[in-house]
């Protein structure tokens, strides 16, 4: 893939020994790779939430595996891998975005703990391991993605998998339908503004923290 039409975006993180996260993006849509090739506000809010919680000592992912669904440019997953170098991060998206993910991993010298592969929500893809954490940023902007995403989360999350799902509210009724669908198999709570980065947050962006519901034997 040719990256000459991409521009670079930088995100500062709080680790004193770590440089900013740098990703290439196609904000103009010139490359035809769709909305996934752009850095969106929801990803920045989610990345800075992880940064904030890590700086407070509330998040330790040492030895853990992280799966990002719909990674886009990879800015959230790469930032998380930068914050927690002893975790393993798998970035996933449609086939046409995997080269961009790979390039952004290389740009951040993150190949030791971060890799990318194709994962199509409409197919019954399985993984070698059950992730400890699944992250999704702006994955419900299209109603047609709701059922495939819900099915993918139900298939890939284990009983102890934590799921962080963030989105910017654009169509309230449709988003409420997804939350109702997701609640059939997951329990979750909303992350309060007081838990997020004091600066990088928005009243239109929501973060939910969920886990699979425990089935009670009859």
Mean pLDDT within 162-171: 97
d(CA 115, CA 9): 20
Q: What are the tens digits of pLDDT across the range 68-106?
A: 999 999 999 999 999 999 999 999 999 999 999 999 999
Nearest in space to 94 (alpha carbons), one of 112, 66, 73, 65:
73
Average pLDDT, the chain: 93
Residue 43 pLDDT exceeds 80:
yes
* pLDDT value of position 15: 81
d(CA 2, CA 4): 6
Residues sharing a CB contact under 8 Å with residue 114, sequence separation 6 or more, in sequence order: 74, 77, 78, 81, 88, 89, 90, 91, 105, 108
- The answer to whether residue 32 scores a pLDDT higher than 80 is no
Given this model, what pLDDT does residue 51 score?
97
Query: Quick one: which of 137, 145, 100, 101 has its CA closest to 120?
Result: 145
Specify the pTM. Answer: 0.94
* pLDDT at res. 3: 82
**DSSP SS3 for 150:** helix
- As separate numbers, helices (DSSP H) first and strands (DSSP E) second, the chain gives 5, 9
For residue 198, what pLDDT band results from cuts at 50, 70 and 90? very high
- Quick: pLDDT tens for 123-164: 988 898 999 999 999 999 999 999 999 999 999 999 999 999
Q: 173: which residues sit within 8 A by CB, 6+ positions away?
A: none
- Per residue in 6-31, pLDDT tens? 999 999 999 878 899 999 998 777 67
Whether 197 and 173 have beta carbons less than 8 Å apart is answered as no
Q: How many CB atoms lie within 10 A of CB 154?
A: 13
Mean predicted confidence (pLDDT) in 195-216: 93
Q: Do 131 and 156 touch, CB atoms closer than 8 A?
A: yes
Q: How crowded is residue 97: how many other Cβ atoms within 10 Å of its Cβ? A: 23
Say which residue, 49 or 216, is predicted with more confidence: 49
pLDDT over 70 (residue 1): no
Closest of 100, 79, 104 to residue 19, by C-alpha: 79
Q: Rounded to an integer, what distance in angstroms lies between the CA atom of residue 151 and that of residue 126?
A: 12
């Amino acid at each position: 893939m040719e990256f000459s039409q991409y521009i670079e975006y930088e995100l500062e993180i709080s680790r004193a020994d770590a440089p900013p996260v740098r990703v290439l993006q196609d904000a103009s849509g010139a490359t035809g790779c769709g909305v996934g090739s752009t850095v969106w506000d929801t990803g920045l809010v989610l990345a800075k939430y992880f940064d904030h919680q890590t700086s407070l000592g509330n998040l330790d992912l040492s030895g853990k595996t992280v799966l990002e669904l719909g990674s886009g440019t990879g800015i959230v997953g790469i930032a998380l891998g930068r914050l927690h170098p002893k975790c393993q991060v798998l970035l996933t998206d449609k086939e046409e975005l995997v080269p961009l993910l790979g390039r952004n991993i290389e740009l951040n010298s993150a190949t030791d703990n971060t890799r990318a592969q194709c994962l199509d929500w409409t197919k019954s893809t399985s993984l070698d391991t059950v992730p400890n954490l699944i992250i999704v940023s702006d994955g419900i902007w299209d109603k047609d993605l709701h059922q495939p995403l819900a099915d993918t989360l139900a298939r890939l999350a284990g009983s102890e998998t934590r799921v962080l799902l963030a989105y910017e509210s654009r169509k309230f009724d449709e988003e409420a339908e997804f939350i109702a669908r997701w609640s059939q198999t997951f329990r979750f709570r909303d992350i309060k503004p007081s838990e997020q980065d004091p600066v990088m947050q928005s009243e239109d962006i929501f973060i939910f923290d969920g886990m699979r519901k425990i089935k009670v034997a009859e």
